[in-house]
C-alpha cells in the first residue's frame, strides 16, 4: 500500500464514519482490510483503493467502513455504569416520570449487542418495580453486520464469559452446542437500527437516557463536539448522558455538564440540580416497548 493509498483511506474513513487514523496505523488498516480485498477477489490494498474510486462501489465502501469501525465490546463492561444504572439512574428517572410511566433509552454505538442486552437484563431483574411502565430501548450502530449479530443474540463461550455473571448466564441464555443465545424475552426489549453518528438523528425523538460509551475516543475534536451537541438535542432537559471512562465533555462543549461525584455521567446544561446521583444515559435509535410483569 502506497502512502497515497493510505491517505485516501484515512480521508474516506474520516468522512464516512468520523474515524481518525494517525499516520502510524497502516498495520491496523492492512490487518482489517486485506480480508475485505480478498473476499472481493482483489489482490492488494492498492487494488481495493482503485476499486473504491470507481462509481458504483458503494457496497464495497460499506464493507470497508464496517471492517474498520468494528470495536470490542463485552457484557457489563466496566461494571460501574451498570451498578449506577440499577441503583441510582433508574430509581431517579422512575420518580421523575411517575406521571407518564414511560422511559426512552438510547444505546449508541451498540456493536454486537452486549451493552443494550446488559441494560435489558438489569431492567428485567428489577421485576415488579417496573410493572405498568413502558420502556423503549433503541440501540444503534453504523455497521449492519454487527447489528445482525446483535439481533440474533448468539454468542460464543468466550463472549459470555467476559463480564457476565454465571447467574445471569443461566437465567437469560440457552446453550446450544458451543454457543449461547440470549432469551427471546430479553431480545424483544431492544430494537436495533443502523445509524451514523455523523448525521442528524433528531427524528429519533427525545430520550431520557443516552449511553454513548467508548466511541468518541475515535473522533477528532470537531467531530466529538458535533456528536455531543446533536445528542443534546435528543436528550430530555432532565435526562442523562453516559460516556466511557476515557471520554468527557469538559473542554469540548457546554451542552452537557458533569454530574458531581459521578464520573462519566453528564446532565444537559441548564438542567435542574435536583437530579439524583449516579444517573446514566443509554444508547438510542428506535423504539421498542418492553413487556414487564404482563404490562405494556
* 139: Cβ contacts below 8 Å, ≥ 6 apart: 106, 107, 108, 110, 113, 115, 116, 150, 190, 191, 192, 193, 283, 284, 285
* 204: Cβ contacts below 8 Å, ≥ 6 apart: 106, 138, 234, 284, 285, 286
* Grid cell digits, residue 201: 438523528
3-state class of 289 per DSSP?
A: strand
Q: Which of 5, 10, 77, 141 is catalytic?
A: 141
Q: Which of 16, 32, 151, 287 is catalytic?
A: 32
The reply to whether 32 belongs to the active site is yes
Cβ atoms of 289 and 296 closer than 8 Å: yes
Give the whole-angstrom CA distance, residue 243 versus residue 264.
Answer: 5
Cβ atoms of 110 and 192 closer than 8 Å: yes
The reply to whether 101 belongs to the active site is no
Helix or strand holding residue 107 (H, E) = strand 102-107
3-state class of 50 per DSSP?
A: helix
Active site residues: 32, 141
Amino acid at each position: 500500500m502506497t502512502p497515497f493509498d493510505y491517505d485516501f483511506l484515512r480521508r474516506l474513513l474520516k468522512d464516512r464514519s468520523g474515524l481518525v487514523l494517525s499516520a502510524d496505523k497502516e498495520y491496523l488498516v492492512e490487518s482489517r482490510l486485506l480480508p475485505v480485498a480478498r473476499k472481493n477477489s482483489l489482490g492488494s490494498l492498492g487494488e481495493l483503493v482503485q476499486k473504491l474510486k470507481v462509481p458504483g462501489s458503494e457496497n464495497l465502501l460499506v464493507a470497508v467502513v464496517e471492517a474498520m469501525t468494528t470495536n470490542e465490546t463485552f457484557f457489563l463492561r466496566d461494571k460501574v455504569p451498570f451498578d449506577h444504572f440499577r441503583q441510582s439512574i433508574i430509581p431517579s428517572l422512575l420518580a421523575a416520570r411517575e406521571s407518564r410511566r414511560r422511559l426512552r433509552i438510547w444505546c449508541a454505538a451498540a456493536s454486537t449487542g452486549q451493552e443494550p442486552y446488559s441494560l435489558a437484563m438489569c431492567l428485567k431483574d428489577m421485576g415488579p418495580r417496573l410493572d405498568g411502565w413502558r420502556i423503549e430501548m433503541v440501540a444503534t450502530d453504523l455497521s449492519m453486520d454487527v447489528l445482525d449479530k446483535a439481533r440474533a443474540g448468539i454468542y460464543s463461550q468466550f463472549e459470555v464469559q467476559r463480564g457476565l455473571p454465571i447467574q445471569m448466564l443461566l437465567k437469560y441464555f440457552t446453550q446450544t452446542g458451543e454457543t449461547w443465545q440470549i432469551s427471546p424475552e430479553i431480545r424483544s426489549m431492544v430494537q436495533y437500527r443502523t445509524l451514523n453518528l455523523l448525521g442528524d438523528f433528531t427524528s429519533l425523538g427525545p430520550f431520557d437516557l443516552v449511553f454513548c460509551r467508548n466511541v468518541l475516543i475515535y473522533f477528532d475534536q470537531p467531530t466529538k463536539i458535533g456528536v455531543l451537541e446533536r445528542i443534546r438535542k435528543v436528550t430530555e432537559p432532565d435526562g442523562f448522558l453516559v460516556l466511557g471512562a476515557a471520554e468527557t465533555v469538559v473542554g469540548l462543549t457546554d451542552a452537557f455538564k458533569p454530574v458531581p461525584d459521578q464520573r462519566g455521567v453528564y446532565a444537559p446544561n441548564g438542567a435542574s440540580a435536583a437530579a439524583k446521583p449516579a444517573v446514566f444515559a443509554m444508547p438510542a435509535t428506535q423504539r421498542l416497548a418492553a413487556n414487564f410483569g404482563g404490562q405494556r
